[in-house]
Amino acid sequence: MKNSAQTSNSKYQSIGVFDSGVGGLSVLAELRHLLPHEHFIYLADTAHLPYGARPGEEIRELTQRAVAELHARGVKGVVVACNTASAYSLEHLRARFDLPIIGLVPALKPAVAATKTGVVGVLATPGTLRGTLLQDVIHTFADPAGVRVLTAVSAELVPLVEAGQAGGERTREVLRETLNPLAEAGADQLVLGCTHYPFLAGSIRAEFGGTFALLDSGAAVARHTRNVLGGANLLTDRPEQGGVTYLVTGDVESARPVFAALGPDQTEPLRLTSTGG
């Protein structure tokens, strides 16, 4: 248990945000909107991207290594802004680290509440589909409501986003191939089950128009983070605007243009450094 002096000092520590790559920037944007005075350390494990096809034990090990890096930098909590890492690692991380660990849960609950057709689609990575978290959420929210949940998976979409091709022709081709079965089955809600996928919203709408309402977990995770840190008296009371330190485990120069395109405001300098993997 932290004493009051430790808690007071901890208010001014950073919040860690982790993803396998740039996808978690979509969650970071929601966090910064809701918690504008906090400082964040964003760590992208670009040296080991993508996580989706890796074995579960390897995903847990990589995630633990990343959270240990953030913990060593003195963060007061960690948001695991990666659906695949959350699906495999949350319980393990919470047992190992004595700080708040917030993970992602697919936004199935609001999708089930909103569907008019009774069919909900989930666009996920192979790793998220293999984990138990998605199935647990389906059993909790969709099954009791009699809503049919259809899953779609592609191993190509995350690398395409990481390559800065979220709006490219190959990306739109993959989206057509992947999502056509959901549209044909009558899905009217599409849960974006990876933090990279909000960056595909424009391409999805260009291909499918208003067929799907798109739902992701970013805003809900930001609210949960505020509630968890507030409940632990860990929210900063600094009046000035917070900032972000960006870290990657892979090559900085290859990551820089994608971070610049998807991450900070254009008025904010991009300070991107490597942890050395």
Q: Which residues are catalytic?
A: 82, 194
Residues in binding site for substrate = 19-20, 51-52, 83-84, 195-196
Collapse the DSSP code of 192 into the 3-class scheme (helix H, G, I; strand E, B; otherwise coil) and give the result.
Answer: strand
DSSP string, 11-79: TTSPEEEEESSSTTHHHHHHHHHH-TT--EEEEE-GGG---TTS-HHHHHHHHHHHHHHHHHTT-S-EE
Collapse the DSSP code of 112 into the 3-class scheme (helix H, G, I; strand E, B; otherwise coil) and give the result.
Answer: helix
Q: How far, rounded to the nearest angstrom, does the alpha carbon of residue 155 sit from its chain's CA centroid? A: 17
Three-point CA angle 219, 225, 230, nearest 5°? 130
Collapse the DSSP code of 178 into the 3-class scheme (helix H, G, I; strand E, B; otherwise coil) and give the result.
Answer: helix
Cα gap 203→198, rounded to integer Å: 10
Cα gap 152→175, rounded to integer Å: 10
Cα gap 69→277, rounded to integer Å: 10
Supply 230's token pair.
Answer: 């507030």
Beta-bridge mates of residue 15: 40
Evaluate whether 20 touches 248 at the Cβ level (below 8 Å).
no
Cα gap 122→215, rounded to integer Å: 9
Q: What is the dihedral of CA 246, 82, 160, 112, to 10 degrees?
A: -140
